[in-house]
Structure 1
Amino acid sequence: MTSIDDIMMTSTTEDPSYINFSQTTDADYEYTDDLFCDRSSVREFRRHFEPPLYWLIAIVGGAGNLAVVWIYLNFRRRLKTMTDVYLLNLAVADLLFLVTLPLWAAEAAGGHWSFGSALCKLNSALYKVNLFSGTLLLTCISVDRYVVIVHTTKAQNSQAERRRCSRLVCLGVWLLALLLAAPELAFATTARPDAQEFCRMVFPAHLGNRTKVLVLSLQVSMGFCLPFLVMAFCYSVIVATLLKTRSFQKHRALRVVLAVVGAFLLSQLPYTGVLVAEAAQASSTSMTLCEDLKRFDKAGQVLKSLAYVHACLNPFLYAFVGERFRRDVLKLLRACRCRPANQSSLGKSCRSPAGSTRVSVVSDSDTSQALSL
């Protein structure tokens, strides 16, 4: 996706439309000066690879996350646990991210950005806001599960306080994500590396490559390293605690832990390696051969798409894995079938009362099923 990765374009004159592509080192932005490296094969690969995959991710992920939001809005008058609050915010974050994919798919298919500079800036910033908010919310979920399972008594005695705290935490997560997306708001714009216009990050000449390295380092540290370290600690202690129990739910809970951590690593770690390589390329120009750059471009596009698949997996890893959540989905579907087109009152009679259901992946009052539900 061309507009969400960071590229160093150094203006050599006061005309902002003139860009010295000999100093461009970004791997995902394959539209460098063909005098230095002809990347038409990379553009062709992107044109065939990205659009169908992005649309598939948007449709599947949109359906799953909409179902999560739908369940919460229809079956709960209030959110009862911290993880409920985090899950709802996570679904919203994933939906906002998925909204950006059709525009990137259109750019890849058409070979240019045709939506203007303002939408380029907004779409790029929206992607980064939801990248950071999503990973931070996953971190919050792991911390909440740690508290509920490892410190059960404390969690049960402070449910109301923790619910209030969760709303403040979510507000802090969104504000931090907006702050971390500031580079996109400042530098994302349309540019013309050739006859076509594309959406990308354009850094002024006086900022140098250090700005690109800083932006990439920020994405690696806040988008992967910090969340992974917190998740690794929380889930390792959770596993150790579960191994000491004799509950028949233990093995299922352990499988859920492995699925959550495994999905995060498999989807995010490879592309994080690509970002680290981009930072190294920006700081020291480690790759100079055109063929190496083109291979790196294609690998980066594949691994980037793999990272985006995580938005489809979140509803299944954190919501649909719960028996209670699945029951609520079935109840809601039955309610919709019962409701005639013009008789909403019948729909109300078919629907179970909002207070009678529980949509919670981690129940504060039932820690034995906190991970498996």
Structure 2
Amino acid sequence: MATANIYGLIFACTCGLILGVGLCANILVFSLFAKHNSLRKNRLDILLLSMTLADFLTLLLIPFTLHSAVSQSWPLGNVFCKVYQFLLAFSLAASTYSLCAVSMTRAMIITNPYRPPDMDLVVLMFVLVWALSFFVSLPLRMFATRDSVGPSAANFTYCLPTIHQHHYQVVLSQFVLFYLVPMLVIAFNYVRLALFLHRSPVMSQASARNSRRASIMVFLAAGSFSVCWLPSYVLELCVYLGLYRQDSAWEVFYFVCTVLQYLHPCVNPVLYVLLSKRYRHRRAEWLFGCTAAAAARNRVHPEVVSVATESL
């Protein structure tokens, strides 16, 4: 019991740190979109906003996970367990499919710069991402339930994504729909970009540099997505094959897999917006604008006070 409590506290502290960093990064992205009207009219930025919304929803669900990790119990009833598991799958699907839409849009813009996708197509992609995420996630979480795990003397009540009989069907479906298919889409667009850049005629240095930077961003997005989610599916496969054992090495692997899952919503805003050259001047304007506003509120003006005093 003491080991479980220590593990829960370490897990809660780690996820709490991820939650704080992720919320700050995503809120900064929201503030940039709210302040700059040009971002809301850009084709690619609309899909980036879709991914940010999905990641923000995932981060809002972390406190429920933290409570369960520390107290070894699900704080709400069975109905809210189903809602929680559905929202978790829904936000993951929306983030993943938004990532696919971003890679497709970037590929279309770079390979055909004179005829980029129009705004109607991008809005349609935005709607399809969220509609598809809803209809895919709903059946996967239909059987989510509270269940007790452990010996009868010390049962731990968790909110599980499905009942035991359907566990691996759900895991396999989620692997195909949330990981394998999106990775194939992203890989297809990356290969398409690589072939285009290899076969394209000589471009200006600025155009070539921008195209390479966009290709690298697609590659980094696919790499971060794979690193954050592939270990979890490997762990599920090991459990299915009976390789999982209750020892310290497997517990550490389980801990790393879970932390990586929650780290992905923090990686996306940093990778796409906060480190992107396209947003550099807007970030600086936002940061220096906030600093200037704070300084103006705290600044003391002796001359103004003196004039006011003399007039009195």
The interval holding the TM-score normalised by the smaller chain is: 0.7 to 0.9
Which residue identity lines up with residue 197 of structure 1 in the other structure?
T
C-alpha distance in 1 between matches for 2:220 and 2:138: 33
The number of equivalent residue pairs is: 287
> Relative contact order (C-alpha < 8 Å, sep 6+): which is higher?
1
CA RMSD, 1 decimal: 2.9
Name the CA shift for 1:289/1:96 in 2 (closer, same or farther; >3 Å): closer
Of residues 261, 275, 278, the one that matches 1:321 is 275
Of residues 10, 19, 22, the one that matches 1:58 is 19
Name the CA shift for 1:328/1:277 in 2 (closer, same or farther; >3 Å): same
Name the CA shift for 1:300/1:185 in 2 (closer, same or farther; >3 Å): same
Instruction: State whether residues 216 and 276 of structure 1, in contact with CA within 8 Å, keep that contact through their aligned partners in structure 2.
Output: no
Q: How does 1:232-311 map onto structure 2 within 5 Å?
A: 232-243=187-198, 244=200, 245-246=202-203, 247=205, 249=209, 252-278=213-239, 281=240, 286-287=241-242, 291=246, 296=250, 298-311=252-265
Of residues 147, 170, 195, the one that matches 1:191 is 147
Name the CA shift for 1:290/1:264 in 2 (closer, same or farther; >3 Å): closer
2:145 match: secondary structure: strand
C-alpha distance in 1 between matches for 2:161 and 2:39: 41
1:115 match: secondary structure: coil
Deviations 1:235-283 (A, max 9, x none): 12212333455525165455434422322222222222223444xx2xx
Shift of 1:316: 1.9
Instruction: State whether residues 82 and 163 of structure 1, in contact with CA within 8 Å, keep that contact through their aligned partners in structure 2.
Output: yes
Q: Does 1:153 align with 2:118?
A: no
Which residue identity lines up with residue 238 of structure 1 in the other structure?
L
Instruction: State whether residues 191 and 199 of structure 1, in contact with CA within 8 Å, keep that contact through their aligned partners in structure 2.
Output: yes
Q: Which residue of structure 1 aligns with residue 266 of structure 2?
A: 312
Instruction: State whether residues 148 and 156 of structure 2, in contact with CA within 8 Å, keep that contact through their aligned partners in structure 1.
Output: yes
C-alpha distance in 2 between matches for 1:96 and 1:226: 22
C-alpha distance in 1 between matches for 2:286 and 2:244: 57
Instruction: State whether residues 25 and 269 of structure 2, in contact with CA within 8 Å, keep that contact through their aligned partners in structure 1.
Output: yes
Of residues 48, 70, 73, the one that matches 1:87 is 48
Q: Which residue of structure 2 aligns with residue 219 of structure 1?
A: 174
Name the CA shift for 1:169/1:251 in 2 (closer, same or farther; >3 Å): closer
Name the CA shift for 1:227/1:290 in 2 (closer, same or farther; >3 Å): closer
Question: When the two structures are superposed, what TM-score results if normalisation uses the length of structure 2?
Answer: 0.81
Instruction: State whether residues 39 and 45 of structure 2, in contact with CA within 8 Å, keep that contact through their aligned partners in structure 1.
Output: no
Instruction: State whether residues 190 and 215 of structure 2, in contact with CA within 8 Å, keep that contact through their aligned partners in structure 1.
Output: no
Name the CA shift for 1:140/1:288 in 2 (closer, same or farther; >3 Å): closer
C-alpha distance in 2 between matches for 1:175 and 1:119: 22
Shift of 1:99: 0.7
2:242 match: secondary structure: coil
Which residue identity lines up with residue 109 of structure 2 in the other structure?
V
2:159 match: secondary structure: strand
Q: Does 1:100 align with 2:64?
A: no
Name the CA shift for 1:298/1:323 in 2 (closer, same or farther; >3 Å): closer
* Structure 2 unaligned regions, length at least 5: 298-312
Instruction: State whether residues 103 and 218 of structure 2, in contact with CA within 8 Å, keep that contact through their aligned partners in structure 1.
Output: no
Name the CA shift for 1:255/1:42 in 2 (closer, same or farther; >3 Å): farther
Q: Does 1:335 align with 2:289?
A: yes
Question: When the two structures are superposed, what TM-score results if normalisation uses the length of structure 1?
Answer: 0.68
C-alpha distance in 2 between matches for 1:137 and 1:289: 33
Q: Which residue of structure 2 aligns with residue 14 of structure 1?
A: none
Shift of 1:290: 5.0
Shift of 1:179: 1.7
The structure richer in helix per residue is 2
> Structure 1 residues 132-141 or 307-316, which shifts more?
307-316
Instruction: State whether residues 162 and 170 of structure 2, in contact with CA within 8 Å, keep that contact through their aligned partners in structure 1.
Output: no
**Percent of pairs with identical residues:** 23
C-alpha distance in 2 between matches for 1:41 and 1:226: 42
* Structure 1 unaligned regions, length at least 5: 1-39, 344-373
Shift of 1:198: 2.2
Which residue identity lines up with residue 129 of structure 2 in the other structure?
V
Instruction: State whether residues 121 and 184 of structure 1, in contact with CA within 8 Å, keep that contact through their aligned partners in structure 2.
Output: no
1:112 match: secondary structure: coil
